[in-house]
Amino acid sequence: MVHYQRKYKGSAVLSCFSAALPHRVAGDVVEWVPMAHTRRLVGQSVAARPYILLSCAVSLDGYLDDAGPRRLLLSNAVDLDRVDALRAQCDAILIGANTLRRDNPHLQLRDPARRQARAIRGLPATPLRVTATRSGDLSPHANFFAAAGAAALVYAAHAAADGLRGALGADAIVVDLGAEPAMTAVAADLHARGVQRLLVEGGGRVFTQFLQQGMADELQIAVAPVFVGDTRAPRFVRAGAFPWCPGRRARLLDVAALGDVAVLRYALSDRCAG
Ligand SMILES: NC(=O)c1ccc[n+]([C@@H]2O[C@H](COP(=O)([O-])OP(=O)(O)OC[C@H]3O[C@@H](n4cnc5c(N)ncnc54)[C@H](OP(=O)(O)O)[C@@H]3O)[C@@H](O)[C@H]2O)c1
């Protein structure tokens, strides 16, 4: 199905398009063009990996956190509920080991109704929890490993894998990804395990790899009305080359105001239907 839409650039909010379409900008008019006229944004085959959705909250100056000892909460309650709904729609949630160590998240669904709805569909109450580590520096006492009834999945560098198996026991399945683990291998292995929809929740080093390797179909980014202003703090991404750049802009699908937080939604591949 092909939709055409026209919106004026001056609109305060570009939202709720019936289809996610690429566009040309002519003067003040954003002209939506059919999908068939576009090229695939990402060169690699996407058939052998899950649909990958990146989600995070950033400050107005693009930081994921501050540099202090405690996690900076950027989202508000409404936005946290949106993220809970996103989690409920996914098969797996991936975070980097540094986020696991620093934030100590349990990654459980908060809303009992969402857990119950998944159970009715024959799914685990909470999506599979996934992390990656080279160092193997993961505490078996982290909340990440505390969920009852379901082992977490840990992708590890070869040097760390055996030690982690011993330390984590039945709380985790440890997958040895060799000397230099790559997120492409993580995505392929998750796909082979039946994960069709993967939510990547950061942090910055993890986002950087998925984005720079063109392994992202959608980005949802909540912008909080605060500045961090400290270069010691982690940014959304690290420096490097990204497929979306001034010559190849990402497609904005939606902007939503959730209280004082703005949620931007971008299509990063033509797998993202909008
Ligand atoms: N605002 C938000 O929405 C949000 C979301 C998530 C995180 N955060 C913040 O982001 C910060 C953490 O971000 P970060 O960039 O420092 O770290 P990160 O991306 O969370 O984790 C990086 C770590 O993940 C492991 N890793 C990454 N790529 C790997 C690969 N290819 N193979 C194996 N292991 C790999 C390594 O663990 P080892 O060091 O164990 O080798 C690496 O040091 C925290 O402050 C957190 O609060 C904010």
Superfamily name with CATH number, domain 39-267: Dihydrofolate Reductase, subunit A (3.40.430.10)
pTM: 0.86
| Residue 233 Cα: closest atom of ligand 1 | 45
Residue 166 CB burial class (10 angstroms; 0-12, 13-18, ≥19): exposed
Closest-CA residue, ligand 1 atom 34, reads 133
- Within 6 A (CB) of ligand 1 lie 56-57, 64-65, 71, 74, 95-99, 102-103, 132-135, 137, 157, 181-183, 201-206, 209, 234
Q: Which of 82, 85, 194, 81 has the alpha carbon at shortest distance from 130?
A: 194
The full set of domain ranges for the chain reads 1-37, 39-267
d(CA 16, CA 273) in angstroms, rounded, equals 12
From the first residue on, what is the mean pLDDT of each consecutive set of 10 residues in the chain (274 residues)?
A: 30 28 32 31 64 98 96 97 97 98 95 96 94 98 87 96 96 96 97 97 98 97 98 97 95 97 97 88
SS3 content of the chain, % helix, strand, coil (to 5): 25, 25, 50
CA of 267 relative to ligand 1 center, distance in Å: 23
| Residue 132 Cα: closest atom of ligand 1 | 34
Q: How far is CA 190 from CA 128, 143, 200, 230, in A?
A: 10, 22, 12, 36
